[in-house]
A and B are shown apart, each in its own frame.
Chain A
Amino acid sequence: MLVYILGRVLQGASVILAACVVSFALFYLSPSDPAAALCGTRGCTPQRLAEIRASLHLDDPKAAQVAGWLRGLVVGRDIRSGGIDRHCPAPCLGYSFVGDQPVTPMILARIPVTASICLGATAIFLPLGLLTGSAAARRRGSPLDRVLVGGSLVISSIPAYLLLLLTALYLTILHPILPRGGYHPLLRDGPIAWASGLLAAWLVLGLQFSTAYARYSRASMVDTLSQDFIRTSRAKGLPERSVVYRHGLRASLGPVLTLLGLDVAGLLTGAVFTERIFDLPGLGTLSLDALGTGDLPVIMGVVIVAATTLVLANLLVDLLYAVLDPRITLR
């Protein structure tokens, strides 16, 4: 077991390292001048350009540049900007010349927003999906089942961002049925303001994501509910609810868990449309704005944070899998 964990951790670390190198390669080694790209498309003076080139050692061999950047990740670097030597504390994910500040604090400030979106959406789609799937499985073949299955198919086929856009326009702005989207920090404005600003986003994401869980849990529950041990439980006199939820649902946890890991990681790293449409200052809008201003260090920093999150989520799911299912022999 320990060997397995160690192996997976090493594999995850190798993947993160490779993501860093590829990210570095994509932006630094493009044919266009990397210093000009880093300087940004606006407000770039020749002095600034020379400063960037010198402080990032862009004339050094590529391998030395990668090593320097990696070292900055661990111990921090000194960057010269605007004539002043600034220290970029570890972990130094880069220095944004456009925003004139280290990248790491910029990212850390945005994480609570993205995490709030992810949390609320998960709190809706997981129970909704599992309940819908179980209800459909219990009444298999009935009109309710067909409506639920058909409805979830149609909803999952609608592009997510279109649903978000139309909800935002028609349900929050034109006819204010739902509160207007916006981020109100939990600690500063209280939970009600925080929740109401995110409610529309949570509802739409929750609805969209729940369809996959409904489908998986329905399929696996249909399988499980026809097995003998369910018949035994009923014969023993257990209440139907206990039979379905305690025994039936537990068997479908495997694929649900994998999907949960993927979805949570996806929401944490890629809620770009949600944040743009509902005007939430999270990691997604950070990267979009950085692309608009040509601020490559920020983009690189966000990519690496996102890759790390995905690897960690996958690792966690694999470990939970092993804990939940003793039949899995870990090699």
Chain B
Amino acid sequence: MAGGSGLAARETGTGLSPTMVALRRLARDRVAVLCAVVLAGFVLVALCAPLLARLEGQSCAALHTELVDPYGYPVVGPDSRHWFGIEPRLGRDLFARWAYGARPSLLIGVGAAAGVTMIGVPLGLVAGFAGGVVDRLIVWLIDFMLSIPTILFIVGAVPVVATWFGPEAARSSTLDAEIRLWTLVCVFALFGWPVMARLIRGEVMSLREREFVDAARLLGMPTRRILRSELLPNLTGPIVVGVSLAIPAYVTAEAGLSFLGVGLIEPTPSWGRTIADATSYYASDPLYLWVPAASVLLLVLALNLLGDAIRDAFDPTAR
């Protein structure tokens, strides 16, 4: 591996950055490529959800109560008009709700991971580089945030934070649902940054003793430039590791909270919410439960396996 890329370097005259080496190793890993394809498929579904719904000829909000019998059970199964069938009781089209449901899952997963990175990386950088009082303060803050029971606090904070965006009665239900989505992203980012900050801080503390940092200091480089152009590029590895751990964790968390009824609420289509609704129909209408459940399973599995492969590819000591 090292010999291969070294030969290439000698031939072309340019070196390969650690990131490029890692990406090449990743491309050779078949499982990783498969997971990336699955992930791309989900992203495509989420992006083209309106297109897919129009293709099918349904929308995710239209009620079809005429197709539901007096007991709330759907009269029709999956057919050419409703590809995944319809929901019991309200009769909404399940395929459209599935396609639209991919959006909040991916949006919250990526959004929360981005938020965690934007808060955690600067704080970890400052803590690791500055040392002294600033470091101890930030470490205390990290320990404090990690000591808060996250599930309970998130479950408790989401409704309260949602009220901060305006009084509840004055909002339409669609605006309410939107606010819920962004509340979730904010709350996740607020509770997730300590892990990233701790990771970055550890890495910075070992990097700051290296010679290139001393050289930069001697040359009179201002601290801000040192952090930005000397240290930050070397932190690509830990940042990628952190993000690869965060995204599946937040997709799972969103689905879990929606399952409990605390996350996304009606009318936002959410896979977690659909799973909760489908639990009572699991024996009589298994497709209702298994479509969102399998989707969550597949998405999180692909993200986790891909993340694992990325971590192995970025780790210089891995076989």
Contact = CB atoms under 8 A, between A and B. Distances in A.
B160 to A, nearest CB: 5
A182 B273 CA distance: 24
Contact of B152 (A22, A153, A287): A287
B275 A272 contact: no
Contacts, number: 106
A88 interface: no
B152 A303 contact: yes
Interface in B162-199: 163-164, 167
A156 B304 contact: yes
Nearest to A311: B147
Contact of A157 (B150, B282, B301): B301
State the majority secondary structure of interface residues on B.
helix
Interface stretch (A119-127, A159-167, A189-197): A159-167
A162 B262 contact: no
A311 B163 CA distance: 30
Nearest to B259: A161
A306 B153 CA distance: 10
A123 to B, nearest CB: 23
B279 A291 contact: no
Most chain B CB inside 10 Å of its own CB: which residue of A159, A165, A166:
A159
A27 B152 contact: no
B256 A159 contact: yes
A288 B304 contact: no
Given A11-B143, A291-B262, A302 B152 contact: yes
Interface in A265-295: 269-270, 272-273, 276, 287-288, 291-292
A291 B265 CA distance: 15
B103 to A, nearest CB: 19
A26 B151 contact: no
Nearest to A302: B152
A158 B297 contact: yes
Contacts of B148: 19, 22, 303, 307, 310
A148 B305 CA distance: 15
B156 A287 contact: yes
A288 B159 CA distance: 12
A272 B151 CA distance: 8
B222 interface: no
Interface string B232-270: 000000000000000010001001100111100000000
Contact of A306 (B149, B248, B261, B282): B149
Interface in A246-271: 269-270
A162 B293 contact: yes
Chain A facing B: main interface SS? helix
A273 B144 contact: no
Interface in B43-86: none
B300 A158 contact: yes
A158 B143 CA distance: 28
Given A156-B304, A161-B256, A291-B262, A269 B149 contact: yes
Contacts of A314: 143, 147
A311 B145 CA distance: 11
B157 interface: yes
Contacts of B143: 11, 15, 314
27 contacts: A19-B144, A26-B156, A26-B160, A31-B164, A32-B163, A157-B301, A157-B304, A158-B301, A159-B252, A159-B297, A165-B275, A165-B279, A169-B282, A270-B149, A273-B259, A273-B260, A276-B260, A287-B155, A291-B156, A291-B159, A299-B152, A302-B152, A303-B153, A306-B149, A307-B148, A310-B147, A314-B143
Interface of A: 11, 14-16, 18-19, 22, 26-27, 30-32, 153-154, 156-159, 161-162, 165-166, 169, 174, 269-270, 272-273, 276, 287-288, 291-292, 299, 302-303, 306-307, 309-311, 314
Top 7 A-B pairs ranked by shortest CB distance? A306-B149, A157-B304, A270-B151, A159-B252, A269-B149, A157-B301, A310-B147
